[in-house]
Amino acid sequence: MKRFCAAAMVRGDFARLLKVWFLTIMAFLAFDRGFLRFALGAVSESVFAHRPLIAYAVSDNDDIIGELQTYEVQKGETLLDIGRRFGLTAQEISDANHGLDWWLPPPGKTIILPTQWILPPGPREGLVLNIPEMRLYYFPGRVVVDRKKGGVKHISYIADHIVYTFPVGLGRYDWRTPIGSFRVRGKTVNPTWVAPLDIYKEHLERDPDAERVIPGGDPENPLGHYRIELTLPEYAIHGTNKPWGVGMEVSHGCIRLYPEDIERLFYKVKIGTPGRFVYYPVKFGWKGDALYVEVHRDIYGRYPALWQFALNEAKRMGISDKIDYKKLEQAIAEKTGVPTYVMPGEEPASTSAAR
């Protein structure tokens, strides 16, 4: 019996090691979309290209857009494919479903698709990226230039009452995407990639044959086919030749979008559009008379005491007396990225029915 138990333990350890080995290899290969599709039977690129672009109405009285959805996992699917099909990322879906496995979600399982968001605080105009959320919001509008003799007098932006939202990939921990304001200064189709010297040296350490200059349109060009240039020096919003990096911290600071998303954004955004990179791991927002909170991972470790950040936000917004703090504590612990009701009592039926 002892020999049998020992053998079973060895087999169990081997199975666990095998799974870890498999997941590690797949994590590296996730950036090779051709292999990933071959190995896992992922859906074709055309399905992603024809995903509808949704314009959400923006109300002066509500801070929440979209509605949660559910989806039944199909055999052979990963969260990478499901996420991209619905304009999400694997990380977002995993967080919303209690850490669901990216690579082996159980076939037949009904999961939450976190297609509902609290809009970031601040002006709802132009491009707003909330870094911990890894999500970009675009509030379209008109750039108005009031000129006077001898130069530009004033640039203003008149926003429409709609918003588009896109998941993004960001800078890794040692190349953090910065906080700051900017304007769109230019746009380029099939931009040429010229690696900054420090990035090029890093590439050479991994690959002695790495190219410093990659022509526009080349399948290996990390910028993809579209680039939106910003007044923030050395930063841009662009596509990618590795779509599965969207939702991850893998860039050198720039913002990467799915190929189908950057193409749509590129042709909608105007030169002169204002924008902000902000950092809100905790967002509060109203839907009618109901108060919600949305909590994300503090990916750059700016607020080790996330609870205190939430309290400060509540105080800043004047809503401290509206909150059930046990509900807030649970939301901060779970970090689902899903708007969660945090007032005392039951969630109002008018808002919970759609959930």
Alpha carbon distance 207, 214 (integer Å): 15
Q: How many helices (H) and strands (E) does the chain have?
A: 10, 22
Of 96-100, 147-151, 248-252, 315-319, the one with minimum mean pLDDT is 147-151
Helices (H), 177-217: 197-206
State the average pLDDT over residues 181-196. Answer: 92
Whole-number Cα distances in Å, 283 to 36, 167, 181, 290: 35, 17, 19, 14
Helix (H, G, I), strand (E, B) or coil at 253: coil
Q: Where are the domains of the chain?
A: 1-30, 282-352
Residues tagged active-site: 238, 254
Q: Higher pLDDT residue, 20 or 233?
A: 233
Q: Higher pLDDT residue, 123 or 145?
A: 123
Cβ partners under 8 Å of residue 278, min gap 6: 120, 121, 122, 128, 129, 130, 131, 179
Alpha carbon distance 112, 269 (integer Å): 31
The band of 171, judged by pLDDT with boundaries at 50, 70 and 90, is confident
Residue range 276-317, pLDDT digits in tens = 999 999 999 999 999 999 999 999 999 989 999 999 999 999
Q: How far apart are the first and last CA of the chain?
A: 52
User: For the residues of 25-92, what is the DSSP string, one character each?
Assistant: HHHHHTT-HHHHHHHHTPPPHHHHHTPPPP-EE--SS--EEE--EEEEPPTT--HHHHHHHTT--HHH
